[in-house]
Amino acid sequence: MSAITETSDHGHGHHPGLHHQYEDMAQQTESYIVGMWVFLTTEIMFFGALFFIYTLYRWNYQLDFYIAHEHLDWKLGAFNTTVLLFSSFTMVMAVQSAQLKKRIAVMNYLGVTVLCAITFLVVKYFEYSSKFADHLYPGVNFATDAKAAFGEHAFEAGKLAVNMNHAQLFYGLYFCMTGLHAIHIIVGIGIIIALIRLWFNKANSVIHDYVPTEMVGLYWHFVDLVWIFLFPLFYLMPKPH
Amino acid sequence: MASNSSSHTHEHHIVSTGTYLLTLGALVVLMGLTVAIAQVNLPAIGILSGTVVNQLVALLIATIKALLVICVFMGVKWGTTLTKLWVIAGFVTLPLLFGILGDYCTRKYEQQPGWEKIEDGALPRISYENPAKPPADSSELNVKIRQ
């Protein structure tokens, strides 16, 4: 019944962003947000499996993982963490502007978020390049020049002190986990650009209701959330002592 | 028909810019703290070695950061009860998954015929020692060749 009345009485107290299958905006908003969290739950399980594998092998091969991790530059990692945290802030400001119906501000904040995401990927590109240069990707030619890859402290009395299989496992996990995360960043860039386009075109789906913008925000914060754990686990490994 | 309590105000909670800025500041400070703590070797506590203590502290800080992002940036703090329930359900999957570690910790490695454990891992030994020379018999392989 509400569907019939809604279509026939515009401007009669009905929110223009309300879809006909919902009672009111509160119900619609809750459905949207809960739906997004259901998706994020599957993402938690998706990344969770990788974190589990990491935990298991890190526990077993602590020393080898430590030596292998020294090729990573924590300064770049910290820079990228800051960039992502800041992009989460600009994202949340975009949502706030959407609530206040400040269209230009929304587009500006989303634009800055995209720029942060691209900065993150550029840094990641340089990090990956340095790994490729030293053959630190899993495969038959893994770390053919171990001295160049891991430095002097990978050697004890001239003999290699790191088990290459375990080091390879570390870089397998590194590329899987940061790579999957980077794919999420790339997808995020696409979604945010699509959202900017909707705002630019004053699409009904976004200008009357802030929740679609909020849902993109939830996705983006989740990507940030994963990185919050990846950063200490890969870049800040404590020295075995 | 749900309870019509909220007198139909579409007013959603709008969080102030100050709160968001403060959260961002806290997140960056916590990140700096993790980096600082990673540079020092924390002492062992009880049965936990110093390495484990270091790692646990780093993970604790990461968890606090995650909670800040979830509660403030993702707005769960102001969300409905159903939203909160789903958020908790989402993260409950993790301890369930990590429960499998208990199996890895307690189960004895059982030798299976044809899959005996050797020191160097799962790849055939020939690929390391002498790639040119084919194995004379199956004892040179990590795994036994099935008859």
A73 falls within a domain: yes
Q: Which of A60-64, A182-186, B116-120 has the lowest mean pLDDT?
A: B116-120
Look at residue A1 and tell me if it is in a domain: no
Look at chain A and report how many structural domains it folds into.
1
Evaluate whether residue A50 is within a structural domain. no
* pLDDT tier, A32 (very low <50, low <70, confident <90, very high otherwise): very high
Q: Give per-residue pLDDT as tens, B3-17.
A: 444 444 445 788 999
Asked whether residue A21 is assigned to any structural domain, the reply reads no
CATH code, domain carrying A91: 1.20.120.80
Does residue A37 lie within any of the structural domains? no
The structure's pTM equals 0.83
- Residue A18 belongs to some domain of the structure: no
Does position B127 have pLDDT exceeding 50, yes or no? Answer: no
Which tokens sit at A31? 């459905």
Q: Among partner residues A15, A91, A236, which is closest to B34 by beta-carbon distance?
A: A236
Q: Return the structure tokens found at B82.
A: 């159903």
Name which of B119, B136, B117, B135 is nearest B127 in CA terms.
Answer: B135
Nearest CB to B83; choose among A25, A37, A82: A37
Question: Is residue A166, in this structure, part of any structural domain at all?
Answer: yes
Render pLDDT for B65-94 as a digit per residue (tens, 0 to 9): 999 999 999 999 999 999 999 999 999 999
CA–CA separation, A200 and A193 (whole Å): 10
* pLDDT at residue number A154: 74
Q: Interface pTM (ipTM) of the complex?
A: 0.88
CB contact residues (below 8 A), chain B span 78-117, against chain A? 79-80, 82-83, 86-87, 89-91, 93-94, 97-98, 100-101, 104
Cα separation, B88 vs B94, whole angstroms: 10
Where residue A5 falls among pLDDT bands split at 50, 70, 90? very low
8 Å CB contact between A236 and B35 = yes
- State whether A241 and B20 contact (CB < 8 Å): no
Mind listing the pLDDT tens digit for each residue in A163-202? 788 888 999 999 999 999 999 999 999 999 999 999 999 9
Contacts of B124 in chain A (CB under 8 A): none
Return phi, psi of residue A155, to 5°. -115, 145
Helix, strand, or coil here: B131?
A: coil
User: With an 8 Å Cβ cutoff, is B138 touching chain A?
Assistant: no
Chain B CB contacts of A67 below 8 Å: none
What is each CA distance from A94 to A31, A207, B15, B23, B66, in whole angstroms?
21, 12, 12, 16, 20
